[in-house]
Amino acid sequence: MTKINEFRDWMADMSVATLFDETPPYQPHSRTSIEAARSVVGRTSGPREAIYGLLRRFQLTDEQIAERLGMNPSTERPRRIELAKAGRIIPVGESLTTSGRKAVVWAASEEAGA
């Protein structure tokens, strides 16, 4: 089974019921994690839509998305994960990062109106 098929199978098992609610994930034992989660409440749709708009035009890795949008990777990855869980983007291949490691290439899904 390819990595992309494994990802699709994993995504099929994911629930998106709470994907865009106002309770971001956090580590309950970490005060800084709780504070960080509180600080992003209501502020994730802008970055998420910027990523989606970019992926409607280009097929990119996380590294490329963050670079093109001038976004911190720690902001970009969670928003990209939200888009994938919602089925708005899908993995379409693999590429190498600047450090030579394999990375998933993402694109907007046709089902999402791309």
CATH number, domain containing residue 83: 1.10.10.10
pTM value?
Answer: 0.66
Q: What's the number of domains the chain is made of? A: 1
> What does the alpha-carbon distance between residue 92 and residue 21 come to, in Å, rounded to a whole number?
27
38 is in which domain, residue-wise?
3-13+29-112
In a domain, 48, yes or no: yes
- pLDDT-based confidence at residue 9 (cuts at 50, 70, 90): low
Average pLDDT on 54-76 reads: 96
8-12, 14-18, 33-37, 58-62 — which one is most confidently predicted on average?
58-62
Phi, psi of 89 (to 5 degrees): -135, 155
In a domain, 18, yes or no: no
In a domain, 35, yes or no: yes
> What does the alpha-carbon distance between residue 8 and residue 12 come to, in Å, rounded to a whole number?
6
In a domain, 39, yes or no: yes
Report which of residues 107 and 3 the model is more confident about: 107
Average pLDDT on 86-94 reads: 95
Average pLDDT, the chain: 81
HEC readout, 31-90: HHHHHHHHHCCCCCHHHHHHHHHHHHHCCECHHHHHHHHCCCHHHHHHHHHHHHHCCCEE
